[in-house]
Amino acid sequence: MLAHGRKHGRMRGEMGETISEKTRAELWAFAEKLADRASELLRGYHARLDTEIEIKPDGSPVTIADKECERHLRRWIAECHPEHGIIGEEFGTERPDAEFVWSLDPIDGTKSFIPRVPLYGLLLGLLWQGRPFLGLIDQPITRQRVIGDGRRTLYNGRPAQISGKSRLQDALLLTTDVKNVAKYQNKAAFDRLVDRCGLFRTWGDCYGHMMIAAGLGDIMADPVLNPWDLYPLIPVLRGAGAIVTDWHGGDPLVTHHVIAATPALHEPALRILNEKQA
C-alpha cells in the first residue's frame, strides 16, 4: 500500500534537479495573484441571477463564467509566463511538454455554481516536469483558500494541518456524488465505510478536499477525477499532512480516483473499501 505524506514533498526532476526556493516562492505568489483576479471575476458572476448554460458532449454543464474565467487565466499566464504550458477543462492543452504546465478548472463544481450553492471552487495546479508541484483551491464567496506545494499548505494565510481524528466512529466522511461512487467504484464497500464513520456528507468537489486540508473533514472519497481536477489537489493535501492514494492504495495519477485522509484513518478506510465479502 502506498502512503504519501509530508516526507514526499520535495520535488526532484528525472536528473535530480530541484526547484530553487526563489522560483518556488515566485510561482507561489503568482498562483495567488491568478486566484485573486479569477475569484473577483467569479464573485461577479455569482451575483448575477441569470446563467448561460451549455451541455457538453459528456453531459456535464458549462456556464459562461467557466469559459470567461478560463480565458482570462490563460491570457494572464501567457502575459507573464509565455513559456509555460496549460491544461484546461474548457479550451484544451497548450505546450504540454513545457517544464512548467498549469492546470485550470475555474469552477470545479459547476452543478453547485448554477444554483449558487458555494460548494464549488477555483482549482489551479502547476506541474513541474510532469508532476504536480503546486495546488490552490479557492472558494470566492466564503473567501476560503488553501495553497500548498507538498511541503506545506496554508489555509487563508495560516499553516494548514489535517485533523487529529484517529477513529472511524469519530470521522467526517465526504464525497461529491453517490451516483458516481456506484458508477465507478464498489458502492457496497463504500456503504460499509459510511456505516462505520460517525458522519457522512456530500460536501464534495474541490471544497471537500479543502476541508480535509484545513482539518475540517477527515476522509474525502473521490471516485473519479479529471486531470485538471486531480493535479492541484495532491500538493495541497500532502502539504497539510494527508495521505493521498487511489481507492486501492495505488498512485492516483495513474487511476484518477482518490482517497485522502488522516494517516490514522487512511489505512482502515482502504481496508473496508477493498475487503472481500463472502
> Is 213 a member of any domain?
yes
Strand order in the sheet with 219-222: 199-201, 172-174, 219-222, 258-261, 243-245
Q: What is the CATH number of the domain that holds 236?
A: 3.40.190.80
Instruction: Give the pLDDT confidence score for residue 234 in this predicted structure.
Output: 98
Instruction: Give the pLDDT confidence score for residue 52 in this predicted structure.
Output: 85
> Is 129 a member of any domain?
yes
Average pLDDT over residues 166-186: 97
Task: Report the predicted TM-score, pTM, of the whole model to 2 decimal places.
Answer: 0.92
Q: Domain ends where: 101, 119, 151? A: 151
**16 and 133 housed in the same domain:** yes
- Domains contained in the chain, number: 2
Asked if the model's pLDDT at residue 14 lies above 80, the reply is no
Instruction: Give the pLDDT confidence score for residue 118 in this predicted structure.
Output: 96
> Is 132 a member of any domain?
yes
> Is 141 a member of any domain?
yes
Cβ-in-10-Å burial (0-12, 13-18, 19+) of 121 comes to buried
In angstroms, what is the C-alpha Rg of the chain?
18
Q: Tell me which of 56-65, 107-116, 214-223 is least confident.
A: 56-65
**61 and 188 housed in the same domain:** no
Bridge partners (DSSP) of residue 155 are 146, 158
Q: Which residues contact 226 (CB under 8 A, 6 or more apart)?
A: 89, 105, 256
Bridge partners (DSSP) of residue 123 are 105, 137
* pLDDT bracket for residue 12 (50, 70, 90): low
**Helix, strand or coil, per DSSP, at residue 197:** coil
**98 and 185 housed in the same domain:** no
- Residues 161 and 146 sit within 8 Å (Cβ to Cβ): no
CA torsion angle for 20, 27, 6, 256 (degrees, to 10)?
-120
Using alpha carbons, select from 9, 73, 55, 2 the residue that is nearest to residue 241: 9
* pLDDT bracket for residue 278 (50, 70, 90): low
State the cell numbers at 92: 484544451
Average pLDDT over residues 57-86: 95
**202 and 137 housed in the same domain:** no
What is the per-residue pLDDT across 150-162, written as a single tens digit (0 to 9) for each?
Answer: 999 999 999 999 9
Q: How large a percentage of the chain has pLDDT more than 90?
A: 87
Q: Domain ends where: 119, 151, 183? A: 151
**83 and 184 housed in the same domain:** no
**What totals of helices (H) and strands (E) does the chain contain, helices first?**
9, 15
**261 and 228 housed in the same domain:** yes
Q: What is the mean pLDDT of the chain?
A: 93
**132 and 210 housed in the same domain:** no
- Residues 239 and 148 sit within 8 Å (Cβ to Cβ): yes
| Owner of C-alpha cell 467526517 | 172
Asked if the model's pLDDT at residue 10 lies above 60, the reply is no
* pLDDT bracket for residue 107 (50, 70, 90): very high
Show the domain range for 58. Answer: 10-151
**29 and 110 housed in the same domain:** yes
CA torsion angle for 14, 16, 21, 24 (degrees, to 10)?
0
Half-sphere exposure of 141 (CA within 13 A, CB side): 14
Using alpha carbons, select from 177, 166, 245, 262 the residue that is nearest to residue 211: 262
Average pLDDT over residues 75-92: 96
Q: Domain ends where: 151, 184, 214? A: 151
**112 and 222 housed in the same domain:** no
> Is 81 a member of any domain?
yes
Instruction: Give the pLDDT confidence score for residue 5 in this predicted structure.
Output: 35
DSSP 82: T
Asked if the model's pLDDT at residue 8 lies above 60, the reply is no
Distance between CA 191 and CA 17 in Å, rounded? 44
Distance between CA 271 and CA 253 in Å, rounded? 21
| Residue bearing the bigger pLDDT, 207 or 54 | 207
**Count of residues making up the chain:** 278
Instruction: Give the pLDDT confidence score for residue 195 in this predicted structure.
Output: 98
**200 and 265 housed in the same domain:** yes
Instruction: Give the pLDDT confidence score for residue 209 in this predicted structure.
Output: 98
Average pLDDT over residues 173-186: 97
Distance between CA 89 and CA 78 in Å, rounded? 17
Distance between CA 241 and CA 155 in Å, rounded? 13
